[in-house]
C-alpha cells in the first residue's frame, strides 16, 4: 500500500508542477487523509492479531544473559525497547510503549521486567532507580518511582510549549527543512492535544511565533495565498508548507534526473559567442540598422547562484506563476527569454509552447482569470546597441 501511495505522490507532484490547479491540491489532500486512516487501521489490526513481541519460549540463541542481584543468570528474550533519558516531553510515549511491550506481559517475571527497565533507561532517568537492587519486590517500586518523577502533567505541558516556542528556524528554504519544521510543530501539538490542551484556540499565538521562523521567500509565498481579511490558521500554514516541500522535492528530483541523464563524456565546449539580434526599420533613416547584443547570463537572476540560470532555478520553479511574473518584472527580465539586456518587444526568442503568445512558457497563466503581464520597460543602461549607417 505504501508503494502505491508513493507512486501516487510522484505522479501527482509532477502534475502540479505542469499545471497549477486548486483541484489537484484538494485531491492530494483527500488521498493523503485516506492513506493515513487506512494505515492506522491496518497497523492496529496487525498488532492485535499478532502475539506479543517478546517470546519467552525463544531459543537460547535469541536470549540476552543478565545477572540478577542474587548472582543468578537470567536469560532475556531480545526486544526492541524504547529509550527514555529523562526528558519530560518523551515520558508519555515511553510509558505507553514500555507498558504494552514489557510491563503488561504476564510471560515475564518481575526480575526480567526490571532488567528490561534498566536497559531502556539512560541519563537522568537511569539515575532515579540506580540505587535499587534488581529484585522482584523492587520492580513495582522502581516503575512507580519513575511515574512519580516524570508523570507531572504541568511540567510536560510546559516542556512541549517551550519546544514549540523554540522551534528551529528555516533560514534557507529547502524541502527537507520545511518537512522537519512541520514534523516538529505537529509532534508537539499532538502531544498537547493528548493532554487536553485547547491548542485549537492558539492560532494567533502560534502564527506570531512560527511565521518569523520561516525564510522571507516562504513567508511571502504564504501571504500571497491568503484572501483579504482572512484570519491565518496554523492548520492552513502546515498544509501550505507540506505542499511547498513537495514541490521543492519534485523540482530537485527532476533536476537530478536531468543531470544524471546528461552525464557522459563531453567535448570541451567552444566559447560562447555574443548573440546579435537585428531589428530593422527602427530609425527614420532609410538604410539604418539597429543591432541588440546580449551577453549570455552566467548566473541566476533570482538567487544569484552561478551554477545555473533562472530557467533551472529550484526557487523560481517553486513559485506560483504570478510570483514568477512578479520576480521577472522585479529583476527587469525579458518576458520571452528571461534574460536581461533587451526588452520583450525586441526579443526574437520563441513563443509560449502552451498558448503561442509572447511570453516564456514558465510565465504561462491558465485562461481563467488570466491577465496579460506588462513587460518590463526597456533599460537603456542594460542594452548595448550599435547603429551602423549605410553609406
pLDDT, mean of residues 379-386: 39
Angle, helices 203-210 vs 234-261, to 10°: value is: 40
Backbone φ and ψ for 275, nearest 5 degrees, come out as -80, 130
Distance CA 256, CA 309 (A): 15
| Residue of 156, 155, 240, 157 whose CA lies nearest to 202 | 157
Give the three-state DSSP class for 102: helix
Neighbours of 288 (CB within 10 A): 14
C-beta separation of 301 from 338 below 8 A: yes
Residue 205 has what pLDDT?
Answer: 92
346 falls in which pLDDT band (50, 70, 90)?
confident
C-beta separation of 241 from 175 below 8 A: no
Residue 259 has what pLDDT?
Answer: 56
Question: DSSP assignment of 151-208, as one string?
Answer: --HHHHHHHHHHHHHTPPP--S--HHHHHHHHHHHHHHHHHHHHTT--GGG-HHHHHH
List the single range of 3-12, 94-103, 294-303 with lowest mean pLDDT: 294-303
Neighbours of 372 (CB within 10 A): 10
pLDDT, mean of residues 311-338: 84
Residue that wins the pLDDT comparison between 253 and 142: 142
What percent of the chain clears pLDDT 70, i.e. is strictly above it?
64
Distance CA 116, CA 146 (A): 14
pTM: 0.45
Q: What is the pLDDT of residues 18-62, one digit of tens each?
A: 665 656 666 766 776 676 667 656 665 665 565 554 443 333 334
Amino acid at each position: 500500500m505504501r508503494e502505491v501511495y508513493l507512486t501516487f505522490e510522484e505522479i501527482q507532484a509532477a502534475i502540479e508542477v505542469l499545471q497549477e490547479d486548486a483541484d489537484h491540491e484538494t485531491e492530494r489532500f483527500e488521498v493523503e487523509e485516506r492513506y493515513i486512516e487506512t494505515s492506522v487501521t491496518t497497523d492496529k489490526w496487525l498488532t492485535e492479531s499478532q502475539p506479543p513481541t517478546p517470546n519467552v519460549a525463544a531459543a537460547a540463541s535469541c536470549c540476552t544473559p543478565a545477572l540478577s542481584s542474587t548472582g543468578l543468570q537470567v536469560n532475556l528474550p531480545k526486544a526492541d525497547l524504547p529509550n527514555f533519558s529523562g526528558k519530560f516531553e518523551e515520558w508519555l510515549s515511553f510509558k505507553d510503549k514500555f507498558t504494552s511491550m514489557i510491563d503488561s506481559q504476564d510471560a515475564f517475571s518481575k526480575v526480567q521486567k526490571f532488567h528490561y527497565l534498566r536497559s531502556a533507561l539512560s541519563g537522568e532517568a537511569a539515575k532515579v532507580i540506580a540505587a535499587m537492587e534488581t529484585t522482584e519486590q523492587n520492580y513495582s517500586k522502581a516503575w512507580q518511582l519513575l511515574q512519580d518523577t516524570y508523570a507531572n502533567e504541568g511540567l510536560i505541558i510546559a516542556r512541549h510549549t517551550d519546544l514549540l516556542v523554540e522551534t528551529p528556524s528555516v533560514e534557507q528554504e529547502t524541502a527537507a527543512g520545511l518537512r522537519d519544521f512541520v514534523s516538529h510543530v505537529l509532534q508537539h501539538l499532538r502531544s498537547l492535544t493528548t493532554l487536553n490542551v485547547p491548542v485549537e484556540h492558539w492560532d494567533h499565538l502560534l502564527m506570531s511565533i512560527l511565521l518569523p521562523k520561516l525564510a522571507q521567500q516562504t513567508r511571502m509565498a504564504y501571504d500571497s495565498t491568503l484572501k483579504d481579511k482572512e484570519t491565518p490558521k496554523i492548520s492552513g500554514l502546515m498544509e501550505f508548507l507540506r505542499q511547498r516541500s513537495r514541490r521543492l522535492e519534485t523540482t530537485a528530483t527532476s533536476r537530478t534526473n536531468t543531470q544524471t541523464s546528461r552525464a557522459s563524456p563531453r567535448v570541451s565546449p567552444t566559447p560562447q559567442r555574443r548573440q546579435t539580434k537585428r531589428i530593422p526599420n527602427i530609425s527614420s533613416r532609410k538604410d539604418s540598422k539597429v543591432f541588440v547584443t546580449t551577453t549570455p547570463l552566467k548566473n541566476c537572476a533570482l538567487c544569484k547562484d552561478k551554477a545555473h540560470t533562472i530557467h533551472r532555478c529550484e526557487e523560481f520553479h517553486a513559485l506560483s506563476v504570478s510570483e514568477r511574473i512578479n520576480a521577472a518584472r522585479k529583476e527587469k527580465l525579458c518576458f520571452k527569454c528571461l534574460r536581461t539586456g533587451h526588452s520583450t518587444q525586441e526579443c526574437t526568442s520563441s513563443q509560449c509552447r502552451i498558448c503561442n503568445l509572447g511570453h516564456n512558457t514558465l510565465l504561462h497563466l491558465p485562461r481563467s482569470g488570466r491577465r496579460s503581464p506588462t513587460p518590463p520597460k526597456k533599460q537603456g543602461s542594460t542594452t548595448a546597441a550599435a547603429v551602423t549607417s549605410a553609406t
